[in-house]
Amino acid sequence: MTLETILFYALSFVSVGSALMMITRRSPVMSALYLILNFFALAGLYLTLHAQFIAVIQILVYAGAIMVLFLFVIMLLNLGDEKKLSEKMSYKKIIPAGLSFGLLMELLYIVSYAKSDLPLTHIERATEIGTVEYVGKALFTDFLFPFEVTSILLLAAIIGAVVLAKKKLD
C-alpha cells in the first residue's frame, strides 16, 4: 500500500463517518461541526488528487464562509429544546425507511458489481489540472459561457434573497 492509498482510505473513512455523525446528531450545532469536518476530509481527498486549488476553495468557501453563516443562524435561532427535534419511529416511517434502505443496497450492489465498467483513462498532466493557472485558463476559454451564466445565476439568487428577506417592502 502506498502512502496515497492509505491517505485515501483514511480520508474516506473520516468523510463517511463524519457524514453519518452529521445526520444522526440531535444538536444542530454538532451536526454543523461534523459537516465542517466532512468538508475538511473532502479537501484532503482533493489534495491527494493534486487538486490544490479546489481543496483550498473547498475550505475557504464551504468551511470558512458558508458553514460559519450556518452556525450563526443556528445559534441565533437557538433551537433550544433539542428533544423536540427528534422524532419517534412510527409505522408510517418504516415504509420509506425500508424503501430508502433497499435503494441504497441496490446502488451498493451495482457500484461494486460495476467496478470493471469504469474506464481507466489516464489523463496526462493530471497534476497540472488542479493548479490555479489551469483552472483560470479553462474558466475563461472553454468554459467561458458557463462561467458567465453562473454570474447571472448568482444575481438571481441575490435578488431572490432580498425579495424574500428584506424587512420592509416599502
Partner 1 sequence: MGMEILVSTAKFLIVMTVILVSVIILVYLERRISAFIQNRTGPNRVGPYGLFQAIADVVKLLLKEDIVPKNAYKPVHDLAPIISIGAALSTFAVIPVGNTIELFGTTMKLMIADVNIGILYILSVTSIGVYGITLAGWSSNNKYSLLGGLRSSAQLISYELSMGLSIIGVLMISGTLRLDQIVQHQTMYIGGWLPNWNIFLQPVAFITFVVAAFAETNRLPFDLPEAEPELVGGYHTEYTGLKFGLFFLAEYANMITAAAVITTLFLGGWHLPYAENLGLSAFTLSLLQVLAFCAKVTVILLFFIVTRWTLPRFRYDQLMDIGWKVMLPLAIANVLVTGLILVL
Partner 2 sequence: MNNYLTDFWQATPIVSLAIFALLTLIVDAAGKDKPVLSYWMSLIGIVVAAGFSVASLGASTPLFNTMLAQGGYSSYCNLIFLGSAFLCIVLSRNYLERLQYHRGEFYVLIILATVGMMLMAAALDLMIIFLGIELMSICLYVLAGFIRKKEKANESSLKYFLLGAFATGFLLYGIALIYGTAGTTNLALIGKSFPQLSHNSLFMIGAGMLIVAFSFKVAAVPFHMWAPDVYEGSPTTISAFMSTGAKAAAFAVFVSVFIRTFDIGGTKLSDVLAIIAAVSMIVGNVTAIAQNNLKRMLAYSSIAHAGYMLSGIAAGNIEGETGILFYLSAYVFMNIGAFGIISWMEQQDDKKLTFDDYAGLSSQHPAVAALMAIFMFSLAGIPPFAGFFGKYYVFLAAVKAGMTWLAIIGVLTSLISVYYYLRLVVLMYFRDGQASIEEKVSAPAMAAISCAALFLIVLGLYPSLVVDIAKGFFKI
Name the residue with cell 492509498: 5
User: How many Å is the Cα radius of gyration of the chain?
Assistant: 21
Q: Which one, of 51, 54, 58, 56, lies nearest residue 125 by Cα?
A: 51
Closest distance to partner 1 from the beta carbon of 5 (Å): 18
By CB under 8 A, is residue 65 in contact with partner 2? no
* Site map 121..160 versus partner 2, x via CB under 8 A: x-------------------xxxxxx--xx-xx-xxx-xx
Q: Residue numbers of the site for partner 1 (CB under 8 A)?
A: 29, 33, 36, 52-53, 56-57, 59-60, 63-65, 68-69, 71-72, 75-76, 131-132
Grid coordinates in use for 110? 451495482
By CB under 8 A, is residue 119 in contact with partner 2? yes
Q: Which one, of 25, 23, 55, lies nearest residue 40 by Cα?
A: 55
**Gap between the Cα atoms of 117 and 103, Å rounded:** 20
Closest distance to partner 2 from the beta carbon of 169 (Å): 7
Q: What is the dihedral of CA 122, 128, 132, 134, to 10 degrees?
A: -80
Closest distance to partner 1 from the beta carbon of 71 (Å): 6
Closest distance to partner 1 from the beta carbon of 74 (Å): 9
Q: Which one, of 61, 60, 56, lies nearest residue 43 by Cα?
A: 56
| Site residues, partner 2 (CB under 8 A) | 107, 110-111, 113-114, 117-119, 121, 141-146, 149-150, 152-153, 155-157, 159-160, 162-164, 169-170
